[in-house]
Every structure is written in C-alpha cells, then in structure tokens.
Amino acid sequence: MGEFVNLTVSDGVGTIRLDRPKMNALNVQVQDEIRAAAEEAAASDDVRAVVVYGGERVFAAGADIKEMADMSYADMVKRSGPLQAALSAVANIPKPTVAAITGYALGGGCELALCTDYRIAAEDAKLGQPEILLGVIPGAGGTQRLARLVGPSKAKDLIYTGRFVAADEALQIGLVDKVVPAAEVYDAAVAWAGQFAKGAALALRAAKESIDAGLGVDLNTGLEIERQQFAALFATEDRTIGMKSFVESGPGKAAFTGR
C-alpha cells in the first residue's frame, strides 16, 4: 500500500487507484508507487484483470511541474528512465488492463492511460499531451504509444499543438474506446475487466504479448511470435479444458483454472 497509489482486488479484478489530491499529479513518489502497484498486480494470481482509476474527479492531470521545474538536465537524465519504467510497468502487466478516465488525463496522465489495453472515458473527460506548451515533449511514452494508437499524423497534431481533446473526438480518433456518463466510468471499466476474471489466463497473456511484441517487428517476425505462443498453449491445462468443453457442451462454457 502506497501513500498515493494502492491496489485493491475484488472478484479477480484489481484496481490501481491514484489518490493524490487535488489533481493526481505524478510526482516522483507517485511514479514509484504506480510501478510498485503494477508489479504487484502482475505477480498476483488473485488479479486476472486490472482497472487503472484516478477517482471520480480526475484521472491524472500530468506531472508535478513544481517538482520538475527545478530539475537540471543532469537530474532528468537520471530520472527520465525511472519515469518511463514506472508507466511501462503498467503496460507490461501480462493481463487485460483498462483505464477509467474521469476529468483530465493530460501529459503523464494521458501517457498512463495509453499504457492500458482499453480506455473508457467520461463524457466530459479531456485528454491531451500539452508538454509542448512547457517547452518540452512527452517523456513517458507519449510520442511512441500515441502514434502507434492513433497514427502519426494525429499524434503529431496533438503533440505539436498541446491541445486538449474532448471525449467525443477522442473516441472518433481511437484515443479512447468507449464514452459513458461520468458516474458510470468506473463501473463500466470493472465490467469490461470482469469479463476476464474467469478467463483462460495464459491464453490472454499470450494474446497480449503476441499483439504488443508484433507491433514492433515486421509481419513475418510477428507471425513467428504468434506461432510460438499458439503452440505453447497446447501445454496448458486450460487448453485441454477449453477444447473438451467445446466438444461436449459447445462454446463459451469452459470453467478455466488459469493454468
């Protein structure tokens, strides 16, 4: 349990909850606590899917600029690696992940949302990468994950201008995947994650790893990654259970063990 970030688990769904008033600014401590919570979620057999949530008011409004303003080049050379590693720990959770976005997801907050597999936003949410307005660029994955998600031209527009994106535009360009009333954001995220609480955990892991690894290589290499992951699943208990259940009872009725 961190001071500002904690992990709770209910019915197989883990929630990584940011709670640093007023805007969940991602100072060094919050960054380190995000990494610790993500690593705990990744390692726990009780967690089958993960929701990242900042509360009813705001997801995360970005880095702690007051803390960052006094950092020198030498300071940031040392800190930029741990900053990226903190958010990449969320991206590396080998389970389905979803961001429940309320209020603002800006700068590092948007980058944190980009680390999840799926994003559900409130109707009044605002997202963006406004670092350019401070004379810098995104430094926790924004130039890379955003471009891969929405395409380079849209990513350049958002990063060059630093403008805020309303939820409807975010949905249109693929920055978020679903928009719901603000009061329903967390429940909608838990419902999405809950689909996987009793799923074939190793197959879900293999699917995520295949997709993520394949995005960074050529097609033939990606196909080889997929082939190896596919074949490896034939050594799992869940594969045996799933195929036997299909033959005997039809699709969607298997009781997986996660092994």
Catalytic entry in 54, 111, 121, 128: 111
State whether 21 and 147 are in the same domain: yes
Residue 63 has pLDDT above 90, yes or no: no
CA distance 172 to 177: 9
CATH number at residue 186: 3.90.226.10
63 flagged as catalytic: yes
**Please, which pLDDT band fits residue 191 given cuts at 50, 70 and 90?**
very high
Is residue 157 situated within a structural domain?
Answer: yes
State whether 140 and 185 are in the same domain: yes
One DSSP character per residue, the chain reads --SSEEEEEETTEEEEEE--TTT--B-HHHHHHHHHHHHHHHH-TT-SEEEEE--SS-SB--B-HHHHTT--HHHHHHHHHHHHHHHHHHHT-SS-EEEEE-SEEETHHHHHHHTSSEEEEETT-EEE-GGGGGT----SSHHHHHHHHH-HHHHHHHHHH---EEHHHHHHHTS-SEEE-GGGHHHHHHHHHHTTTTS-HHHHHHHHHHHHHHTTS-HHHHHHHHHHHHHHGGGSHHHHHHHHHHHHH-TT-------
Identify the domain containing residue 233 by its residue range: 201-249
Q: How confident is the prediction for the chain on average, in pLDDT?
A: 96
**What's the pLDDT score for residue 79?**
93
The count of domains in the chain is: 2
131 flagged as catalytic: yes
Catalytic entry in 108, 128, 141, 242: 108
State whether 65 and 163 are in the same domain: yes
Residue 43 has pLDDT above 90, yes or no: yes
**What's the pLDDT score for residue 26?**
96
108 flagged as catalytic: yes
**Please, which pLDDT band fits residue 5 given cuts at 50, 70 and 90?**
very high
Catalytic entry in 62, 107, 131, 189: 131
13-18 and 165-166 beta bridge pairing: unpaired
Catalytic entry in 63, 91, 125, 167: 63
